[in-house]
Chains A and B, each alone.
Chain A
Amino acid sequence: MKQTKKKKRGQWRDVFRRLCANRVALVSLILLCLILLAIVFSEQVAPYVYNQRDLDATFTFPSLSHPFGTDNLGRDILSRVLVGGRVSLLVAVLSVALSAVVGSLLGAAAGYFGGRCEFIILKCTDIMMAIPAFLLAVTVSAALGTGLLNTALAVGLTNIPRFVRLMRAETLSVKGNEYLEAARACGASEVRIILKHVFPNALSSTIVNVTLGIGTAILQISGLSFVGLGVRPPTPEWGSMLASGRTYMRDFWPMVTFPGVAIVVTLILFNLVGDGLRDAMDPKLKR
């Protein structure tokens, strides 16, 4: 038991070492961590209280006291972008957690048991994938109503298929191996085999998929909030901030610019870290 633990740690250390050797990935990981810290502790970091109105200072352009300017109600845009990031990110993480857990379980079941179980699960994912993800999210979100949890649920549901497919492929790739046979011969239950012997093999590709999935989820959530579903004002969220800025866009650019820049920067970093992780975890793919 001790031996296996040691080996496992060694494997992760290898991954970390390869990640550190990739300068782009390392820098983006550090930047992403900084941004995440700023977002998590946004109420402490933000220069102003995010919902504090100042009707004498509405629509001010970026200056030293308000680096991103103030919005139509005189609220500091920088503080709102930071706090809004917390909402976007929280919903994104929740939704990806939902799709990863449900999707992986279904995918593993499909790959492991095969037969009718696999057929049904795959057909269901095929049908879900026939509906454009964003439109499905719109429909579900319209049915569930707005709010953090409902949005996470709507976005999470629509992203289940990608995890099902990934986990099924990974399960099929280890299915014929002898160690599964050995585990079964030892009397391990099906559930135990899936959890202890199948999942760990798919862990690295799932981590990559989760990293990239959070980026996609942030995009979908901001899209939902932008059309008036998802998270509604006054809760700051990047998409809903863009939607409220749209009204004043012709005369006042900061309201539609900075939340968008925040989305783009966060997404670029998530994509770079995801790519870096993929290269680090699968040295065979190394270019």
Chain B
Amino acid sequence: MAKYIIKNALMVIPTMLCVVFIIFTINYFTPGDPVAVFYDFDYTEEQYAEKAAEWGLDQPFFQQFVNYIKNIVTKLDFGYSYYSGKSVMSELTTRFPVSLKLGLISVALTVLIGVPFGIISATRQYSPLDYGVTFISLFFAAVPGFWLSMIMILIFSSRLGWLPSSGLTSWTCYIMPVIASSAQYIASITRQTRSSMLEVIRQDYIRTARAKGVSEGVVIRRHALRNALIPVVTLIGMQAGAVIAGSAIIEAVHSFPGMGSLMMTAINNKDYNTIQAVVLLLSGVVCLINLLVDIVYVWIDPRVNVR
């Protein structure tokens, strides 16, 4: 068990290195001269050379890449914002915890609502409750989070005045962004849980368990759920990334002081270094969530360990 966890944890390092390499390369070849943009195309030769040297842009590609990695690993330094000239990390230190909190609450909500509703829906197949859950999840699976955000602002902030539409002044500010970034994924987790529960419930070993007199609750919890959860956990791992990435736009809609709004501003300013830092940090979070998912696998499916 420990060996499996350590092996998976170590695998995160090469994966992240490759991720950094891909994003860095794409950014490197993105057209546009950051120094020229910083000075608004009005600079002397000396100014240019000085700024390029400060940002390390005068070095060859590979050297730049190595420096980038070195600075991240040793100093947690993501370089300078090509727009403001300030260190990217100085912006991120206050924003990262906010986004992380929003992302993790949304992922937690996705699991805590999606899985139980999927189970209830499957165990009472063709009941009005099942139809209700199926219909609602079908609808929300098709709703883009950022649109849901805007509609919620229209209804709950502009019309009813119940919830603050933007900013982060109290915990109520989390309500709409969390709902918006998780609704779509709650729906798809519900659908997946329902269909894989339905598949498992039909298996012979469930009939056997019922035949030997095991109570229905135990059949569902011990025999059906554990098997049904395997594909669900895979999906949760895949969607954690989507939830966190999607919350980036939603943050911007709510002017939430997180990394998402930072990224939106950076996109408008063509501030590629900041975009790069945000993408890398969020990918890192997703990698860690996937590691967690791998560990949960062993817990629900002991066969994984053997392999």
Residues of A within 8 A of B (CB): 126-136, 138-140, 142-143, 145, 215, 219, 222-223, 226-229, 242, 246, 249-250, 253, 256-257, 260, 263-265, 267-268, 271-272, 287
* In contact, A127 and B22 (Cβ under 8 angstroms): yes
Q: Given known contacts A139-B275, A264-B139, A272-B138, is B144 in contact with A131 (CB within 8 Å)? A: no
- Residues of A near B29 (CB, < 8 A) are 143
- Residues of B near A249 (CB, < 8 A) are 150, 153-154, 158
* In contact, A131 and B23 (Cβ under 8 angstroms): yes
- Residues of B near A267 (CB, < 8 A) are 141-142
A262 to B143, CA, bound (A): 10
Q: Which of A126, A134, A135, A268 has the most CB of B within 10 A?
A: A135
Q: Given known contacts A135-B283, A139-B27, A227-B267, is B198 in contact with A263 (CB within 8 Å)? A: no
- Residues of B near A226 (CB, < 8 A) are 146, 249
Verify if B15 is at the interface (C-beta below 8 Å from A).
yes
| Cβ-defined partner of A263 (8 Å) among B144, B158, B238, B246 | B144
| Cβ-defined partner of B138 (8 Å) among A142, A246, A271 | A271
A60 to B181, CA, bound (A): 31
A26 to B303, CA, bound (A): 41
| Cβ-defined partner of B264 (8 Å) among A133, A135, A145, A227 | A227
Interface 0/1 of B154-172, CB less than 8 Å to A: 1000100000000000000
| Cβ-defined partner of B286 (8 Å) among A132, A215, A222, A256 | A132
Residues of B within 8 A of A (CB): 15-16, 18-19, 22-23, 26-27, 29-31, 138-139, 141-144, 146-147, 150-151, 153-154, 158, 198, 238, 241-242, 244-246, 248-249, 252-253, 263-264, 267-268, 270, 272, 275-276, 278-279, 282-283, 286-287, 290
A246 to B272, CA, bound (A): 25
A101 to B276, CA, bound (A): 29
| Cβ-defined partner of B142 (8 Å) among A139, A142, A145, A264 | A264
* In contact, B245 and A222 (Cβ under 8 angstroms): no
Return the chain B residue nearest A272 by Cβ. Answer: B138
Q: Which of A140, A143, A260, A287 has the most CB of B within 10 A?
A: A143
Say what secondary structure dominates the interface of chain A: helix
* In contact, B19 and A130 (Cβ under 8 angstroms): yes
- Residues of A near B268 (CB, < 8 A) are 228
Which 10 A-B residue pairs are closest in the complex by CB-CB distance? A132-B245, A267-B142, A132-B241, A260-B147, A134-B245, A143-B30, A268-B142, A127-B18, A135-B279, A135-B245
A/B interface sample: 26 pairs, CB < 8 A: A127-B19, A130-B286, A131-B22, A131-B283, A132-B241, A132-B283, A132-B286, A135-B283, A136-B279, A138-B275, A139-B23, A139-B279, A142-B30, A143-B27, A145-B31, A223-B249, A228-B268, A242-B150, A249-B158, A256-B151, A257-B151, A263-B142, A264-B139, A267-B142, A268-B141, A271-B138
| Cβ-defined partner of A132 (8 Å) among B144, B146, B158, B282 | B282
Return the chain A residue nearest B184 by Cβ. Answer: A219
- Residues of B near A268 (CB, < 8 A) are 138-139, 141-142
- Residues of B near A138 (CB, < 8 A) are 263, 267, 275, 279
A272 to B135, CA, bound (A): 11
- Residues of B near A257 (CB, < 8 A) are 151, 154
A128 to B18, CA, bound (A): 9
A272 to B26, CA, bound (A): 37
* In contact, A132 and B242 (Cβ under 8 angstroms): yes
- Residues of A near B263 (CB, < 8 A) are 138, 227
Return the chain B residue nearest A123 by Cβ. Answer: B18
- Residues of B near A215 (CB, < 8 A) are 142
Return the chain A residue nearest B238 by Cβ. Answer: A129
